[in-house]
Amino acid sequence: MPIAPAFAEPIRPVRAFEPTIEHLLDAIERSRLRPGNRLPSESELAKQLEISQPTLRQALRILERSGLLTMRRGNGGGIFLAAELIPDDLIQSSIVSEERAMLDVLIGRRVLETAVCELASQVATAEDYTELDRALKLHRTHLGDRLLTFRADAMYHRLVIRASHNATLQGAMRAVTRDMAIVRSTYISGLESNAYSLEIHERQLEAMKQKDLEALRRLLDAHFRIVEEAFASVVGRTWDELFQDRVGAPAPGEGNL
């Protein structure tokens, strides 16, 4: 017996870049721009749309990949219209490619941040731990203030990277941090600045001080999943579908904090 179609489909969270793309397409049409015409600068567009620059850059990158826009650097550079009409399926294809790129960022973050934290647990100095304790105290002090907790969280991550005392890993993590800004802006809306994240950071730091790598890996897995599960939800998938085959099954006890 055939299964009747559902009366309604689940509501999928809207990714921040989607309304940005729609607004840009509407503005291009209203302005009657022609191929070769210049759009306002990135900073001006972000101001007009009242969005973050990471979200705008992601929308522009998708439209550039689809062939609608071209981005030029240097003197005479800017954002230019490259075509008058781009089929919607090309834009959707570019969105899929962008989400694959963001998935790569999340997997890369797992690999690199785990390596950084494990190394830091072995080589961090007393001064490093003093600064890390200070960052977590700031985070706890400002819980409830989204901007200040975000800054304290970012400070903590920078200090962990510095505590690895490894220039190669520090350089690699700077690139990951830039890309993670896009992931956070688009997919998770500040989830990592909450009390649960702070608790994980506090326990993570204690595991680093004790050089307990097993506990550290378990806590890092829980920390990574905050963002990974939010990302999976927004793109309409589950964590298992996106990450299980890429990161492997958790060790016994992982995920149960």
Q: How many domains does one find in the chain?
A: 2
Which two tokens mark 47? 């101001």
Do 111 and 237 reside in the same domain of the chain?
Answer: yes
Instruction: Please report, for the domain that includes residue 31, its CATH number.
Output: 1.10.10.10
Percent helix, strand, coil in the chain, to 5, is 70, 5, 30
Q: In this structure, is residue 208 part of a structural domain?
A: yes
Structural domain containing residue 75: 17-86
Q: What are phi and psi of 69, to 5 degrees?
A: -120, 160
pLDDT, residue 257, reads 55
CB 78 within 8 A of CB 38: yes
CA distance 251 to 214: 9
Indicate whether 45 belongs to any domain: yes
The end-to-end CA distance of the chain, in Å, is 45
Same domain, 29 and 69: yes
> What whole-number distance in Å separates Cα of residue 206 and Cα of residue 215?
9
**Which domain CATH number covers 235?**
1.20.120.530
The answer on 179 and 142 residing in a single domain is yes
**Residues 240, 122 share a domain:** yes
Task: Note whether residue 213 is domain-resident.
Answer: yes
**Which tokens go with 38?**
């210049």
Q: Which helix (H) or strand (E) holds 69?
A: strand 69-72
Q: Could you list the mean pLDDT of each consecutive 10-residue stretch along the chain, which spans 257 residues?
A: 53 71 89 91 92 87 91 88 82 86 94 97 98 96 86 93 97 92 71 76 97 96 91 87 81 49
- Is 236 inside any structural domain? yes
Among the three residues 60, 86, 112, which one is the final residue of a domain in this structure?
86
Q: Within a 13 Å sphere around the CA of 138, how many CA atoms are in the beta-carbon half?
A: 17
131/34 same-domain check? no
Q: Do 148 and 182 share a structural domain?
A: yes
**Tokens 């990471």, located at residue:** 54
pTM over 0.85: no
* Alpha carbons 83 and 67: distance in angstroms, whole number: 7
Q: Clarify whether residues 66 and 147 are in a common domain.
A: no
pLDDT score at 176:
93
Establish if 155 belongs to a structural domain: yes
Same domain, 170 and 197: yes
Residues 89, 256: Cα–Cα separation, whole Å: 42
Domain shared by 238 and 161, yes or no = yes
